[in-house]
Every structure is written in structure tokens, then in C-alpha cells.
Structure 1
Amino acid sequence: MTSTILIVEDDKQIRDIVRIALTKAGMAVEEASDGRTGLDLALTRGPDLVVLDIGLPEMDGLDLCRALRKTSDVPVLFLTAHADEVDRIVGLEMGADDYVAKPFSPRELVARIKAILKRSGPAQSGTSGLRHGVLAVDPDRHLALVGDASVPLTAREMELLALLMSSPDRVTPRPRLVDKVYGVNVDVSDRTLDSHLRNLRAKLAKAGCEDAIETVHGVGIRMGQCRGA
């Protein structure tokens, strides 16, 4: 099945580069040159992933991502300038799955998109659900529950939570989390991991599980008791 990627970017040259790279990789592409059009297409066309610039006319990428996350968990990859670390972190905290800094390698961009699509797509049959305290996760169906309450997670958050729940009593070192979730030889800062962990904790706490994830300082991350409220 062909994946459809929505490119929201006001620079036509960059849109052309991204479109050509994705088309060569066998993906279908839709395009928008401003934020409001991009949001409308994201909500009405149901793309499999959105490649989103931050500096957009009409509605910037951060506002678009915030609006999109109110009703959709479609994966989002931000395109950012090297100097915009603050924007990158804010984007991740809003629920973006990944970012690629400009100028970028089209090959790397395609690889990142494929990795996100793989994480957000159906898992291989036979993958069992995971349960820990009041928290249940079914990666096959991209479903997380605290008791009976569904918790909307991005693909990155789901992978991070499933990895921790696969060995809930083990403290996983941060470098191993980065390698498993973001990939080996990928430049990911501690702030990126911290942003996804913070989002994950906030969503689980909102659903009634405030002690879901623990940080063992100087060692790593593990699941908490997940007793619920």
C-alpha cells in the first residue's frame, strides 16, 4: 500500500526536493505552501505523515501542529533551521515525532520518514499486548489504555512506552533508549528524549497514572508502579 505524505513548506525549491525524493521512494505526495491550507489538507485528506516547516505564512508550523494534535495523531516530522533548537524542542513537546534540520540530505529525510511509518503502521502479527499495573499497551493496534481510558500517543511515544513496558522492572540506560527508539548513529540530543518522556508522562498522568515512568538519576529510565489514581 502506497503511503501518502503531505509536505507543508512555503519554499517551492525545498518542496520540489522533498517531492522528488519521496516519489522516487514510491510514496504519494500532496503539497501545501501555507499553514492554513496544510492544516485543512491534513484534516481532510488523511495523509500517513506530515512533513512540516516551522516558518510558514498564514499559520506557522508550531500552531499547525498544536491544532492538528487536538484531533489527530498523524505522524509529524518537522523541518527546522540549525539555529532553531528551541523551536525543535517546542515542536517535540507538541507531539511531533521527529525533526530534520535544514540543509538536509534527501536520503536521510526519506530514511527518517520510512522509520516513522514503520513504527506507526501495523506491527507483525503475533505481537502480544503489554500490561503493567493499570496501564495496557497493544502496539499492533497502536492502543494505550489507563484502565478504560484511551491515551492518544504519537508513534514515537508508543515505541518508547512499549520498549519500557517490555522490561518494566529493568532500568534502561538513556543511550540504549536513544539507540532503540531513534536509531543508531542518529544525532539525537538529551533534550529530544526528555521532551518525548515529558509528553508521555503528561499524557499518562492526565489519564490517571501519575507514577508511570521513573528516572533513576545517573542510571536510566524504568516503569513506575502504575497503580493509577
Structure 2
Amino acid sequence: MKKIYCVEDDESVRELVIYALQSSGFEAHGFINSEDFFPAIKESLPDLVLLDIMLPGISGIDILNELRKMPQTEHLPVIMLTARGSEYDKITGLDSGADDYVTKPFGVMELIARIKAVLRRSNKITTTSVSDNNDLVAGNGLLKLNYDFHKVYVNNDEVVLTLKEFELLYYLLKNKNIVISRDKIMDEVWDYNYAAETRTVDVHIKTLRHKLGPASKLIETIRGVGYKIVD
């Protein structure tokens, strides 16, 4: 049984999420703030964390940054719960290492689907055979990706990406010079087909371009369709 921790200070939201998770076959535990959450993490690691950004005391972003610093939790799947329309929070969360985000108010079935999708993707990453993957290159060597070691280089300088940014770049590079729709990217990278949330792709592309610097020009936007990596 997968274990989920939910850090949410709104009691009604927290209880709803815990009930929905337990009804869906998960072991679920709720926490009000970082003071309750971190001792629980040290005692027993969950399989995924739902983390509200707006928390009393230490914010959800600060909690996420701490999780990414600790070896035992640096790859722990995290979904951020953000306010509707707050793109700054979404980008900040993704840039800090969140695997996905869900905007409030959200539907319970949507939340469960997003959790299952992140867990599936996380499992695929840990079980992928090293021998099945090779280095991918674009821009005459300007951009390089090594899947085996989860490394990305621009002009031979390493660029640090979040897990989801890495998966997105890997998928685009595997399909170099092919236009990929937002829906297809959602389905393949997030393992979740939900047209209303294709904005997730756009936000990740934005943070990815920022981190890739001079190699960002290799990611082309195809208006009304999606994206492609050009060589």
C-alpha cells in the first residue's frame, strides 16, 4: 500500500484529501505544518507528498527545498497545491524540484489521477534499464543529455533540472525535429491525459528554457499545437 503525506493547514481540505486517499486504497496522513511533518518524515518515508505552498511559518516552497537537500528525500515525489492563477507559485515550485502541481479548488478524482500518474512515472524512472538508453544530442553538440546518469549539459556545462524537466527534455530529444502536441506530452511525460491542464506543459517549458540558456533556442513553439526540439 502506497503511503501519502499531505501537508495542508486548512483542516477541511486536509480531511477531504485524507478521506479521498484512504478511499482510493492509499495509506494517508495529514500534517498542519513543517513542525509536524519533518519528524514524521524522519520516522517513516512516504511514497509521495502533497504540499500546500501557503502554510503558516515555513512555506511549502521552503519545505520542498529542505526535502531536496536531504539525500533520503531528494528524489521523493512531491505535488504542490497552489492557488488558482498563481503562475509565480507554480514556476517557483517546479523550479525548486516539484514533480507536478494541482490548482485549488481541485476535484478529488483529478487529484487522485495526478497522484497515480506521478507514482507511475517515478516507478518507471527507477526501473528503466540502463542499457536501453543512450546519450541524446542536439544543436551540433550544444545540448547533451545522458539518461543513464540523469545529466544534462549545455556547452559542456552541467545544467541541474528537476525530475519532470528532465523527463520532458528527454521526451522531446527522443522525438527530435518532430512536433509534439501538448496533449501528447501530457500523456507521455505525465502519464495523464487531461486537456484542461496542458498549461502544465507550458510552465515546464518556460522553466526548462530558462535553465538551458543558449540551448533554449532549440525548443520551438508550434503555435496552437505544441513543441519540438530542432537540430
Q: TM-score range by the shorter chain?
A: 0.7 to 0.9
Alpha-carbon distance in 1 for matches of 2:97, 2:128: 27
1:178 Cα offset (Å): 4.0
Length-normalised TM-score, structure 1: 0.75
Q: Which residue identity does 1:161 align to in structure 2?
A: L
User: What is the alpha-carbon distance in structure 1 between the residues aligned to residue 179 and residue 107 of structure 2?
Assistant: 35
Corresponding residue for residue 16 of structure 1? 15
Superposed counterparts of 1:160-179, under 5 Å:
160-174=168-182, 176-179=184-187
The yes-or-no answer on 1:112 pairing with 2:135 is: no
Which one has the bigger helix percentage?
Answer: 2
Would you say 1:137 and 2:147 are equivalent positions? yes
Shift in Å at residue 137 of structure 1?
A: 0.9
CA separation of 1:107 and 1:86: change in aligned 2, threshold 3 A? same
**Separation in structure 1 between the aligned mates of residue 42 and residue 208 of structure 2, nearest angstrom:** 24
- In structure 2, what is the equivalent of residue 92 of structure 1? 94
Q: Alpha carbons of 1:172 and 1:108: their partners in 2 closer, same or farther (altered >3 Å)?
A: closer
Amino acid in structure 2 at the alignment position of 1:135 = L
Q: Distance in 2 between matches of 1:43 and 1:197?
A: 34
Residue type of the partner of 1:214? L
Indicate how the Cα distance of structure 1 residues 161 and 44 shifts in structure 2: closer, same or farther if over 3 A, else same: farther
Q: Which residue type is aligned with residue 102 of structure 1?
A: K
Tell me what 1:227 maps to. none
CA RMSD of aligned residues (A): 3.2
What pairs with 1:152-191 in structure 2 (closer than 5 Å)? 153-174=161-182, 176-182=184-190, 183-188=192-197, 190=199
**TM-score of the pair, normalised by structure 2:** 0.75
Please give the alpha-carbon distance, in whole angstroms, between the structure 2 residues aligned to 1:155 and 1:146: 12
Structure 2: unaligned runs, 5 residues or longer: 138-143
Partner of 1:66: 65
Structure 2 residue 43 is matched with structure 1 residue 34? no
- Residue 231 of structure 2 corresponds to residue 221 of structure 1: no
Task: Tell which deviates more after alignment, 37-46 or 92-101.
Answer: 37-46
Aligned length: 214
Seen in structure 2, the aligned counterparts of structure 1 residues 57 and 77 have a Cα distance that, compared at 3 Å, is: same
| Structure 1 pair 186–96 and aligned structure 2 pair: CA distance change class (3 A) | farther
Kept after mapping to 2: 8 A contact 1:144/1:150: no
> Within 1, Cα distance between the matches of 2:102 and 2:147?
29
Q: Post-superposition shift, 1:98?
A: 1.8
1-side partners of 2:8 and 2:38: how far apart? 12
Q: Is the 8 A contact 2:91 2:207 kept in 1?
A: no
Q: In structure 2, how many angstroms separate the alpha carbons of the residues matched to 1:181 and 1:130?
A: 18
In structure 1, what is the Cα distance between the partners aligned to 2:46 and 2:158?
22
Contact 2:220 2:230 in 1 (8 A): no
Amino acid at match of 2:24: A
Q: What is the percentage of aligned positions where both structures have the same residue?
A: 35
